[in-house]
Structure 1
Amino acid sequence: MLRVGLIGLGEVSGVHVNAINASECGELVAVCDSDPDRKSEWTEFPFFSDMESMLQKMKLDVVHICLPHYLHQSATELCVKYGAHVYLEKPIAINYEESLKQLELAESTDRKICVSFQNRYNKSFMKLVEILQNEDVGEITSIKGLVTWFRPESYYTSKPWRGRKAEAGYGSIINQSIHTLDLIQLIGGKLESCKATLSNLTDYDIEVEDTASATFTFQSGVKAFFHATNAYTENSSVELQVITEKEKFTIKDSRLYFTNENGRKEVIEEDDRIPGSKFYYGMGHRILIERFYRSILNHTEDYVHIREVVPSMEMIEMMDRSSKDMGNAQRVKREELLHGTTSKNRSTRVYAEETI
């Protein structure tokens, strides 16, 4: 059994603990949080308030990182330094520059770093990919991704880092809807350009955006429209739609629909759900975590590698650059992102182009 540690005991940590407990390959043996008051909630495990102390004393095989965004890079580096494999909650870093440093780390170590993009393993999405790859539906022409959710002001005031640019990186596009961006780029392929606006529709005192709209063009010719907001009145179902030359497919309410020739929707596949969890928490965490553990034991690459998710950070960076002039959004090309003269680390950008 793999010896597993968990760093960061916030809301999402419970999802990780449930997945670890259900695993046949891993066992949780230590937890860590900078808030010593949490110790009373985790009495069944050795508790640490310093991650390096935990890594020194517990000889862990795997560490799950569930920390605020700005700590992801440094925590990953520290875990790898002490010989642990890493299961990293999204995002991989607070911005594109840091994501390239994470990519360099992943490519230079024999430790595995898996990113928690678990929605790839929802049954609805896997079925959609299977159909697109294996059935005669024609070429993909369009993709649409919608995330209309609600976050009260207390969401930011209770954990102020979520609203700070230097600590969160971004708002809705990196915290709530990055999974949808990931699925869009998986279907669309290599990105060519983006035009976007980032804005705030709430009256909250935050530095990050709560709303974003964008169009993406992929090198394949596929066009995508994306809209995400935390300014709705509830957490509505995420929608992902793919239109091909012959068919239309929609994932909504955790189901994959096919629209027939009469315009009627027919259910093709439905996601499994975990009772008592949020509606958008499916079985993905359990599937991906077990997959990652087995990849460690069997020495395979069957997990979500950092190189696979850097494109989602490219999308975010390009949206930000495009939106700098809010009155007249500019189209940004991926080539400019990789070879831009404003880069402080142009060699790293070229490295990314060669490896992604």
Structure 2
Amino acid sequence: MADATKHQVAIVGCGIIGRTHAQTIAERPDATVTALVDGDIAAREALAAQLKAAGQPEPKVYDDLTAALSGSDISLVAICTPSGTHAALAEQALNEKKHVVIEKPLDVELTRARRLGAAAARAASHGVVSSVISQHRFDAGSAQVHEAIQAGRFGQLTSAVATVAWWRSDEYYASAGWRGTWAQDGGGALMNQGVHTVDLLLWFMGRPVNIQAQALRAAHRAIEVEDTVVATLTFESGAVATLHATTAAFPGGRTRVSVHGTEGGAEVEDDRLRRFNADGATDDAEVDPGEPGGHQAQYDDILGAIASGGQPGITVQDAIDALATVRAVYIASTLQRPVKFIDVLEGRYDDVDVSRGIRLPPD
């Protein structure tokens, strides 16, 4: 029987990322998984067995969220389903006054994301917390860079470079029917693998103003979406950035965000701080790679916000901004011209078919 003093958590989606959330919650003293939701019986039963083997109370299992909400005393819902289903499920949970954690990205369509943003604002007025996973903001190195930027220790920011150079095989994309599709994945290397890096770039540099881009399918012919994208962004401060994401970099490279200013700069590589110069100093004596925060650190933040009645460190609006940036990249590639971020954010490009913007290399 579940401990009534703990948050009763429903995991919606029992695949790879659902297992990550379940394991994270199982290690906490203040929460327990009491419900698993997945139409795939084998997936939910496997996760139930995993939790039981870890000494956790056996959760109830459900085919859909509606059944779980009516059949269990749930206080927190973790959305871990394919990306294109996130917003609708999260809105359903919020309408039932349940706290919500949404795995990245928020969704793949801005129309649904905006609707969820309105639902989250309404729910917040009743003390209901919603947050979107972007756990790398809680990495020690990323937090140190953000604090330095806020304090002006890098002087005037001039530029940034963000790159995600990964490899994903054809077998990876074939492993689930939703992978590499516009309807459920919402994009490729940038939307799926690169959205965390986009979020960090915005956290460091602020909202972009103009975006131009090229997206292509360089190595994976069986998917609908891009496996390589390069974009340039101009920010409100006047600083510029390059953004690169690929799943066609065999055998897989590194993830890196570098920021540069007139009095210093920093580089975060594979979630750890590798370079840090500030206040006009030429050495990087303050570098402390630290440990990545991971999902556990973000759950600390989310459950802390619930306990205090405050806002979580990452809001639904933060995730809408990241999604709008990704969509702006795809729209700029499709239209073959720069687009304004605010126009994308406010829906003036919602009717653009971004699938037309993915280029193929010559045979």
2:37 matched to which residue of 1? 32
> How do residues 1-356 of structure 1 correspond to structure 2 at under 5 angstroms?
1-41=6-46, 42-43=48-49, 44-109=58-123, 110=126, 111-134=128-151, 136-258=153-275, 268-272=287-291, 282-325=292-335, 329-338=336-345, 343=350
Provide the secondary structure at the position in 2 that maps to 1:94: coil
Is the 1:23–1:290 contact (alpha carbons within 8 Å) kept by the matching residues of 2? no
The CA deviation at 1:267 is 6.8
Higher deviation after alignment, 261-270 or 221-230: 261-270
| 2:59 partner letter | F
Is the 2:207–2:235 contact (alpha carbons within 8 Å) kept by the matching residues of 1? yes
> Counterparts of 2:184 and 2:285 in 1: how far apart (Å)?
43
Higher deviation after alignment, 253-262 or 220-229: 253-262
Provide the secondary structure at the position in 1 that maps to 2:288: strand
Q: 1:28 to 1:267 in 2, by over 3 A?
A: same
Identity level (%): 24
The CA deviation at 1:339 is 5.8
Is the 2:160–2:257 contact (alpha carbons within 8 Å) kept by the matching residues of 1? yes
The CA deviation at 1:337 is 2.6
- Ranges in structure 1 where 5+ consecutive residues have no aligned partner: 273-281, 345-356
Q: 1:245 to 1:267 in 2, by over 3 A?
A: same
Provide the secondary structure at the position in 2 that maps to 1:151: coil
The C-alpha deviation readout for 1:209-251, integer Å capped at 9, x for no partner, is 1111000001111111100000011332211101010223111
- How many residue pairs align between the two structures? 332
The CA deviation at 1:271 is 3.4
The CA deviation at 1:96 is 2.0
Is the 1:149–1:229 contact (alpha carbons within 8 Å) kept by the matching residues of 2? yes
The C-alpha deviation readout for 1:124-167, integer Å capped at 9, x for no partner, is 10011122223633111111101000111111111121111112
The CA deviation at 1:88 is 0.4
Provide the secondary structure at the position in 2 that maps to 1:103: helix
| 1:89 partner letter | E
For normalisation by structure 2, the TM-score amounts to 0.86
Is the 1:64–1:88 contact (alpha carbons within 8 Å) kept by the matching residues of 2? yes
Provide the secondary structure at the position in 2 that maps to 1:194: strand
The CA deviation at 1:338 is 4.8
Q: 1:87 to 1:126 in 2, by over 3 A?
A: same
| 2:29 partner letter | E
Q: 1:339 to 1:102 in 2, by over 3 A?
A: closer
User: What's the C-alpha RMSD, in Å, of the aligned pairs?
Assistant: 2.1
Higher deviation after alignment, 126-135 or 209-218: 126-135
Higher deviation after alignment, 290-299 or 224-233: 290-299
The CA deviation at 1:283 is 2.9
> Counterparts of 2:144 and 2:121 in 1: how far apart (Å)?
30
Provide the secondary structure at the position in 2 that maps to 1:163: coil
> Counterparts of 2:313 and 2:153 in 1: how far apart (Å)?
28
Provide the secondary structure at the position in 2 that maps to 1:102: helix
Is the 2:84–2:109 contact (alpha carbons within 8 Å) kept by the matching residues of 1? no
